[in-house]
Amino acid sequence: MSTIEIVVVVAVALLIVAALAGGALWWRSRSLRDRFGPEYDRLAAERDSRFAAEKELRERERRHAKLELRELDEPTRQRYATAWREVQAEFVDTPDTAINDAESLVVQLIAEKGYPTDDRTEQLDQVSVDHARTLGYYRDANAIYRKHQQGEANTEDLRQALVHYRVLFEDLLGEAPTQRPTPDHNGQQPDPNNQQTASTSG
């Protein structure tokens, strides 16, 4: 084989290796996008780097693999579903109390499932591995909750927060949300006490 032929063979081999490596990287990136969805986009924007976001998400997956998560038995699921209905009913007369109870109930359910409780950031990072497409709703609800703690949220804000809390709550409970909190035709958020939108109403 001549020198030119050897160079051509080596060059082709390198191109094949590069293509395979590029394909593997693309597939890993696509897999992370598919799994984390909006959490991937949020983190990429926050880190201002897709590669940095993917590195962090892979690290979350690594830590998540060490968790011992628990499936809820039916009595426990029913207990939480009942507690949520009570929160929704409570909102009618005491929205302030209801939003505090909603935050506490979601946090309690996260812990019940076996996610870490000693570090809030780490807890949500681990929740994102299983519930990335609904965790954003909780982040929005929690932001309103914190505004409420500072006296900066009105009743409509609290109504929106309760609807958002419900999305992650249902997901954690293993029930598909019957309606995501998108504005209706009048630009209003769904009523958290509307039985047609409350899939935990039993």
Quick check: 191 pLDDT over 70?
no
The backbone region for 106, taken as left when phi is positive above 0, alpha when psi lies in -120 to 50, beta otherwise, is: alpha
pLDDT at 100: 97
State pLDDT tens for residues 96-145.
999 999 999 999 999 999 999 999 999 999 999 999 999 999 999 999 99
CB 123 within 8 A of CB 110: yes
Q: Pick from 195, 188, 172, 185: which is nearest to 85 by CA?
A: 195
CB 181 within 8 A of CB 163: yes
d(CA 74, CA 86): 18
pTM: 0.73
